[in-house]
Amino acid sequence: MLNVNVKHDPATAIQKLEQFGEFGGVNPSITDSSTFTFLGTETMEGTFHGETQGCFLYSRHWNPSNKYLSDALAAMEGTEAGWVTASGMAAITSAILQVCNAGDHIVSSVTTYGGTYAFLKFYLPKFNIETTFVDSTDLNAVSAAIKPNTKLIYTESITNPLLQISDIPALSEIAKRAGIRLMIDNTFSPMIIAPHLLGADIVVYSMTKFINGKNDCVAGAICGTKDFINSLIDLNHGTAMLLGPVLDPLRSSSILKNLHTLHIRMRQHSKNAMYLAENLQKIGVKAIYPGLPQHRGHETLKRIMNPDYGFGGMIAIDLATPQLANTFMEDIQKKGVGYLAVSLGYFKTLFSNSGKSTSSEIPESIQKEMGMSPGLVRFSVGLDNDIEHTFELIKSTLKDLKLIK
Ligand SMILES: *Cc1c(COP(=O)(O)O)cnc(C)c1O
C-alpha cells in the first residue's frame, strides 16, 4: 500500500548518485561503442543468457551511458529501474505493447497527448487491442469501463492540454482491485508528482520536454520494476529489444547533465506560471492553471504533489476562436514573449493553439466532448527572470485585441 506521506526528495536522490568513471571525470565517460568486448567466452555466453551481471553486450540492449541516465531517472521516480528511449512515443508505445497482447483491452483518458491518442485509437486496433476512452477524473467511469480482458489503465498525471489532474492513488486502487496495471505519463510534472510512489506500476516520459529542457533532442523514458524493465529488453520477448527504440548514448550523456538542474528549472517554471495565471485572472482572462483554487483539480494536485516544485509550468487560456488565438499568438511573438512553437519545458515561453497543433490528431467532435475550446492557447511558461515584464507584454496584446478593457 502506498504511503503518500513518505517524503521522497527526487532532487536529492539524483544529487546523491556518484559515478566514478575510468578516468575520474566528474561526468561519466560517454559510451562511443555499439558492441563490447569480453575477456572470455564464458562471460559472453553468461551475459547473453542474462546470468552474468554488470557486463554490457550490445548498445540496443544496454550501454553504460544509458544505464547512468536510467539509474538517475529511477532514483528520481523511486522505481527499481528505468530504460531510456529515442522519443517519448517510443517509451509509451513500447511499454503499452509490452503489457498488452492481441485481444486485450485498455481504459485510457480521453485527454492525452495527440500521438498517444492516435496510437490507442487508430494503430492498436490492427493488433486487435481495443481502447475505451473515458474522463479519467471520473473514477466511476474508469471502473465501469473495465472489462474481463482489460490489462491497463492509461492516463497522464497532468493531462494535455486541459491540465486535468489524475487522482493517481485512487486510480491505482481501481487497477489493483481489477488485477491490472496503471501506466502514467508524467511528462508535464517531473518531480512535482511521483506517480510510482502514489501507486502507478509504470511511469513513462517524453524527456524531450522538461527533463531535458533544452529542446535540442527528442527522447523518452520508462520507469518501473526491475522485472518489467527486464521484460522490455528480453532478447526473445522484449518490445524494446526487438523493436529497437534505444536512445543514443551521446544524448543520454547530455540529458543526464540537464537532469541535474531539473529541480531548479521546475521551481522557476512553476513560479512564473503561477504569476501569469494569477495576474491574467485578475484582469479578467480565464486562465486554466492547476495552481489556481478555482481549477477543478487544485485540491487533488495539492494532495498528491511535492510542494517544493510548485504547480507546474503549463497554463492555458481560452480565446474562444482560432482566429483570435492566431492573432494573439503572432502578436505576442512579435513583442518577444516567446515563440509560436509546439513542445514544452523550454527556457523560453512557447505557445500554440492545441486544437490545431498538438491535439490535431483528435477529431474536432471529440475535442468538443473533451471540453477543449478551438481558441485554446497553451503556454509552456519559460524561465523568464522578469516575468512581470512578460505579463505586461501579454496584457498589452490583450488590450489591443479588445479582449480586456
Ligand atoms: C511530447 C509528448 C509526448 C511524446 O513525446 P515525444 O518525445 O515527442 O515522442 C508524449 N506525452 C506527452 C504528455 C507529451 O507532451
DSSP 8-state class, residue 356: G
For ligand 1, the distance from its centroid to the CA atom of residue 359, given in whole angstroms, is 11
The helix or strand, by DSSP H or E, that contains position 81, with its residue range, turns out to be strand 81-85
The stretch 47-52 carries a mean pLDDT of: 72
- 105 lies in the same domain as 238: yes
- 238 lies in the same domain as 338: no
352 lines ligand 1 (CB under 6 A): no
- 218 lies in the same domain as 230: yes
- 196 lies in the same domain as 91: yes
- 291 lies in the same domain as 317: yes
Q: Can you spell out the DSSP letters for 217-284?
A: ---EEEEE-HHHHHHHT-TTT-HHHHH--BPPHHHHHHHHHHHTTHHHHHHHHHHHHHHHHHHHHHTT
Domain boundary among 242, 259, 276: 259
Q: Is residue 146 part of a domain?
A: yes
Q: Give the chain's domain count.
A: 2
Indicate whether 3 pLDDT > 70.
no
- Cell numbers placing 399: 488590450
- 233 lies in the same domain as 278: no
Ligand 1 pocket check: which of 202, 206, 314, 358 to mutate, most ligand atoms within 8 Å of Cβ?
A: 206
- 185 lies in the same domain as 110: yes
Q: Is residue 96 part of a domain?
A: yes
218 lines ligand 1 (CB under 6 A): yes
112 lines ligand 1 (CB under 6 A): no
- 284 lies in the same domain as 229: no
- 192 lies in the same domain as 340: no
Rounded-to-integer distance, Cα 176 and Cα 201, Å: 10
Q: Can you spell out the DSSP letters for 142-185?
A: HHHH--TTEEEEEEESB-TTT--B--HHHHHHHHHHHT-EEEEE
Model's pTM, two decimal places?
A: 0.94
What CATH number does the domain containing 36 carry?
3.40.640.10
- 220 lies in the same domain as 317: no
- 284 lies in the same domain as 254: no
157 lines ligand 1 (CB under 6 A): no
- 61 lies in the same domain as 135: yes
Indicate whether 395 pLDDT > 90.
yes
pLDDT confidence band for 6 (50 / 70 / 90): low
Q: What is the pLDDT of residues 55-75, one digit of tens each?
A: 888 999 999 999 999 999 999
Q: Is residue 345 part of a domain?
A: yes
Mean pLDDT of the chain, nearest integer: 93
**Structural domain boundaries, residue 232:** 10-259
Q: Is residue 180 part of a domain?
A: yes
What CATH number does the domain containing 370 carry?
3.90.1150.10
